Amino acid sequence: MPPVGPVDGTKIPRYVGPDTFARLPRVDQVSQVDVAVLGMPFDSGVSYRPGARFGPAHVRASSKLLRPYNPGLGVSPFATQQVADAGDLAINPFDIEDAIRTIERAADDLRGSGAKPMSIGGDHTIALPMLRSMHRAHGPVAVLHFDAHLDTWDTYFGAPYTHGTPFRRASEEGLLDPERCLHVGIRGPLYSEQDLTDDKVLGFQILRSDDYQTDGLASVVERMRARLGDGPVYVSVDIDVLDPAHAPGTGTPEAGGLTSRELLHSLRALAGLNIVGADIVEVAPAYDHAEITGIAAAHVAYELLSVLALPSGTAR
């Protein structure tokens, strides 16, 4: 059977219809799923402004604007693969380690059903359990991490599991391929120079936000693809990689970020790589207005779904 796509926006206005991502079917409405969009309403790991637990619903509401054909990649992402909405996880807001276990089990269940998980958070803590699940299926993976911040710090107030520590824990647990991991969009002040030294030891290279300005987007893309290579890649997008002008609705905004155009183009450049899973995190709607952040996040998810719809080895 052909994939079941979203509700037809030429027949039913886009401001009505199901409250699923892009008005797609739920997982229980289709016989098999290639990519599952899973909401993770969790923000107990934040260090500054809370509110990302409401991000999944906000991104879904903003995704009503999406249309089924992506001219940038020449693909209809909902016609060549079955994408479905897996709803929201019921995650413990009071016990971070229990929350991590819940997310890990859910990712395992989705993979076991044959679906690639695309998570909408939620804060960046969710990346660690997702990577544990990815490692069970693929071994060490490359992390392509779009963010203003490194998220490789050790602890906050003695707590090892926060939205600023997931990639340090993942590296320490052997989940990552240290020859292929990459941060993109890093900017702003650090606690000390040691932050950069530690980050390098953990297996990351850095493409800064300023590199888009000084070297140009084409150079950034070339270096990104060269670093990632042909192995499995997990893509993690913190929406604060965007400048606050393009994503005000987030918990730890930093001036000097990417434009939404630069981010979307960078994601399209992943065409042909072996993407095994993804997350979009840190959308906090209480600080958004006019759905600016929600729309940006919905388009990030759409570009990633479009990349997943293309055959491996297809470069654009």
In a domain, 2, yes or no: no
User: Is position 5 within any domain?
Assistant: no
List, run by run, the mean pLDDT of 10-residue segments along the chain (316 residues). Answer: 93 94 98 97 98 98 97 97 98 98 98 97 98 98 98 96 98 98 98 97 98 98 97 98 98 98 98 98 98 98 98 64
> What's the predicted TM-score (pTM) here?
0.97
Q: Is residue 16 part of a domain?
A: no
Domain count across the chain: 1
Residue 9 located in a structural domain: no
Could you tell me if residue 10 is inside a domain? no
Q: Report residue 39 as tokens.
A: 């909401």
Q: Specify the pLDDT at position 312.
A: 72
Residue 315: predicted pLDDT:
57
Domain of residue 268 covers 21-309
Q: Is residue 316 part of a domain?
A: no
Say what the pLDDT of residue 41 is.
98
Within a domain: residue 166?
Answer: yes
| pLDDT for position 311 | 82
**Residue 242 belongs to domain with CATH number:** 3.40.800.10
pLDDT given at position 78:
98
* Residue 223 is assigned to a structural domain of this protein: yes
